[in-house]
């Protein structure tokens, strides 16, 4: 694919406004300094989006974007450039056009051909990885560290960039050793990605709620960089150490649905190298069991802030997690792919490993309970030598390269991380529900739920609950539609006023007719409530009491329906559960009001 083709048909046409042979006839703002953002792939573009706001509000600056077309990972770039809303120049036109400043977050392509001062940022947490490149025999050799070696930093023996942006002096020390010719271009300017994370730390509780993490739940983030020896790649040595199939299967078999919330943060090169549809297909069983994927552009930093534990590898995401004091377990860590002097390599020598032996849940719990937040203090200090200051440092650098005074009276600011949309876990695989600890004074039921993908858990393997009975709950939108005929409880998630299904009273009556072997049906019409109808005909609203702060309980209301089902099948009547029943999930207790909605109910 040629460089000019990566952004669609429009990008193959040379831009005439605000640059071009006769641009002066058409522009509205004249005399603007030109700033070019050079995109290689989605990964590097996300770092450029971090610094885009540094030029906001300046009427003297006109920004542009281009794509070198040199990366093998070009999918997703057109959509991202369209989202930025900047004029997109074909790479050939970009090379021919003079700029006052060009900013890149990666090497590759003909950067030496750019006409203007060039600043190069890291697109991850510093410079750590070695890359294998073909030599003149066609064989692969391992190069020095990407971004710190002459292979990338020099053109015709001279520094390629006017400014090589580093986030910490330890990178400068390695640069002096690896490529002393480029050392004079080094500028310490912090890490804008890390600064956005630090600024958002007070929003942790909101991010957790956005991800549907309820009281007593742990949020587990599965993080993977790209390439064969990553956690997602699984090409470990020996190959039998590929943890991904084991991890995905144990996720549903070992982690109770109401005690753990799991999301995956995957490198953009995984998404765009293999295709989003293929990635989702690979993860299908885990996704139906409740694992959600965080998109490659937005949300991963918020998920990281919200996490209780990160299962990762040698990715920047895992390193950022350790820097924040979050417990990490390393499922893959190819030391041969890293500079042994880098902080990321040091993380691999420090953090505990996730292993196939034993229980996934036990390893997570051990990592969380035994974690000392100061364990990675030294690594955190090497993430940035100027935490919170990158905006000011980078803007000073950029405007200095343009020989333009910084905007007067406008501080340099980065965009805050947005609040993600509400994304509760959704399990369309059958759910095996173990119940026990039923009490009558006051009414109470203990519930432990597991998504069933393949063989379900043995109740005897659940030591934290005295299991008195078990039943199966199936989402009406399950792919395994045959299981609906034999489900004990059928559940539907929809708005109460959805004209296709509601009102809940109508759907529940129809569902009992449609599924004659189930004992109870539940219509979940809110984050903390549902309407259930029993086989005996009782129509009841179940609503969890709000927390002390007045916010809705985020436990899946289907758990409350299961508790009521267990109550009824234990020989107790509906009247005994009125006006409220306490539902225990792990260490959390949910007080659920039981409100009859029809005359026949008690």
Q: pLDDT for 426-450, tens place per residue?
A: 999 999 999 999 999 999 999 999 9
Which residues pair with residue 98 across a beta bridge? 115
Q: Rounded distance, CA 362 to CA 376, Å?
A: 22
What percent of the chain lies above the pLDDT cut of 90? 79
HSE-up of 15 (CA within 13 Å, CB side)?
Answer: 23
Q: pLDDT tens across 231-275, in order?
A: 999 886 555 578 999 999 999 999 999 999 999 999 999 999 999
Task: State both tokens at 85.
Answer: 């809303």
Please check the confidence at residue 34 and state whether its pLDDT lies above 50.
yes
Q: In the predicted model, what is the mean pLDDT of residues 193-217? A: 96
- Contacts (Cβ under 8 Å, ≥6 apart) of 578: 594, 595, 596, 602
What percent of the chain lies above the pLDDT cut of 70? 92
- Contacts (Cβ under 8 Å, ≥6 apart) of 516: none
Which residues pair with residue 454 across a beta bridge? none
Sign of dihedral through CA atoms 558, 564, 566, 569? negative
Q: Rounded distance, CA 319 to CA 129, Å?
A: 13
Please check the confidence at residue 601 and state whether its pLDDT lies above 90.
no
Q: Rounded distance, CA 100 to CA 401, Å?
A: 8
pLDDT of res. 467: 85
Please check the confidence at residue 140 and state whether its pLDDT lies above 70.
no
Judged on CB neighbours under 10 Å (0-12, 13-18, 19+), 147 is buried
CA distances from 82 to 64, 92, 578 (A): 12, 19, 56
Averaged confidence pLDDT in the chain: 91
Q: Rounded distance, CA 266 to CA 69, Å?
A: 22
Please check the confidence at residue 388 and state whether its pLDDT lies above 80.
yes
8 Å CB contact between 70 and 108: yes
- What SS3 state is found at 581? strand
Record the pTM.
0.93
8 Å CB contact between 425 and 292: yes
pLDDT of res. 89: 96
Ordered strands of the 309-312 beta sheet? 292-294, 260-266, 218-224, 309-312, 328-330
8 Å CB contact between 555 and 215: yes
């Amino acid at each position: 694919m040629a460089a000019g083709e990566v952004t669609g048909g429009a990008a193959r046409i040379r831009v005439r406004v605000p640059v071009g042979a006769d641009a002066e006839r058409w522009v509205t703002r004249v005399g603007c300094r030109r700033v070019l953002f050079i995109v290689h792939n989605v990964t590097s573009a996300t770092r450029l989006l971090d610094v885009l706001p540094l030029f906001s509000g300046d009427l003297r600056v006109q920004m542009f974007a281009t794509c070198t077309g040199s990366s093998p990972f070009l999918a997703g770039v057109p959509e991202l450039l369209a989202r930025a809303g900047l004029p997109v120049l074909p790479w050939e036109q970009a090379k021919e056009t003079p700029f006052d400043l060009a900013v890149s977050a990666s090497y590759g392509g003909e950067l030496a051909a750019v006409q203007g001062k060039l600043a190069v940022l890291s697109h991850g947490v510093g410079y750590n990885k070695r890359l294998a490149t073909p030599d003149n025999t066609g064989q692969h050799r391992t190069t020095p560290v990407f971004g710190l070696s002459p292979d990338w930093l020099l053109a015709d023996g001279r520094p390629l960039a006017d400014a090589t942006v580093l986030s910490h002096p330890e990178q400068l020390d390695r640069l002096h050793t690896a490529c002393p010719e480029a050392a004079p271009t080094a500028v310490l300017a912090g890490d804008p990605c890390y600064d956005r994370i630090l600024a958002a730390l007070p929003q942790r509780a909101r991010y957790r709620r956005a991800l549907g993490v309820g009281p007593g739940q742990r949020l587990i983030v599965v993080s993977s960089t790209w390439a064969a020896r990553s956690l997602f790649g699984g090409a470990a040595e020996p190959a039998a150490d590929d943890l991904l199939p084991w991890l995905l299967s144990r996720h549903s078999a070992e982690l109770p649905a109401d005690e753990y919330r799991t999301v995956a943060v995957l490198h953009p090169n995984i998404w765009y190298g293999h295709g989003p549809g293929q990635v989702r297909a690979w993860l299908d069983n885990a996704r139906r069991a409740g694992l959600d994927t965080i998109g490659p552009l937005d949300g991963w930093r918020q998920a990281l802030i919200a996490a209780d534990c990160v299962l990762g590898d040698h990715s920047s995401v895992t390193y950022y997690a350790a820097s924040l004091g979050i417990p990490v377990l390393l499922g893959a860590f190819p030391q041969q792919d890293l500079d042994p002097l880098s902080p990321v390599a040091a993380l691999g020598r420090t953090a505990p490993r996730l292993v196939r032996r034993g229980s996934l849940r036990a390893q997570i719990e051990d990592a969380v309970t035994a974690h000392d937040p100061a364990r990675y203090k030294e690594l955190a200090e090497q993430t940035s030598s100027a935490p919170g200051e990158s905006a000011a440092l980078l803007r000073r650098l950029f405007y200095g390269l343009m020989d333009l005074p910084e905007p007067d009276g406008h501080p340099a600011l980065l965009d805050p991380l947005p609040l993600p949309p509400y994304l509760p876990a959704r399990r369309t695989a059958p759910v095996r529900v173990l119940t026990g600890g039923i009490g009558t004074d006051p009414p109470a039921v203990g519930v432990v739920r597991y998504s069933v993908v393949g063989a379900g858990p043995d109740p005897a393997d659940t030591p934290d609950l005295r299991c008195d009975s078990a039943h199966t709950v199936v989402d009406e939108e399950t792919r395994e539609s045959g299981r609906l005929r034999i489900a004990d409880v059928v559940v539907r998630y929809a708005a109460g006023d959805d004209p296709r299904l509601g009102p809940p009273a109508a759907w529940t009556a129809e569902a009992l007719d449609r599924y004659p072997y189930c004992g109870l049906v539940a219509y979940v019409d809110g984050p903390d409530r549902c309407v259930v109808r029993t086989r005996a005909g009782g129509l009841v609203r179940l609503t969890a009491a709000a927390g002390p702060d007045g916010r809705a309980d985020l436990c899946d209301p289907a758990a409350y329906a299961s508790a009521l089902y267990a109550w009824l099948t234990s020989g107790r009547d509906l009247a005994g559960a009125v006006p409220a029943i306490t539902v225990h999930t792990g260490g959390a207790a949910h007080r659920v009001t039981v409100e009859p909605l029809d005359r026949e109910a008690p």
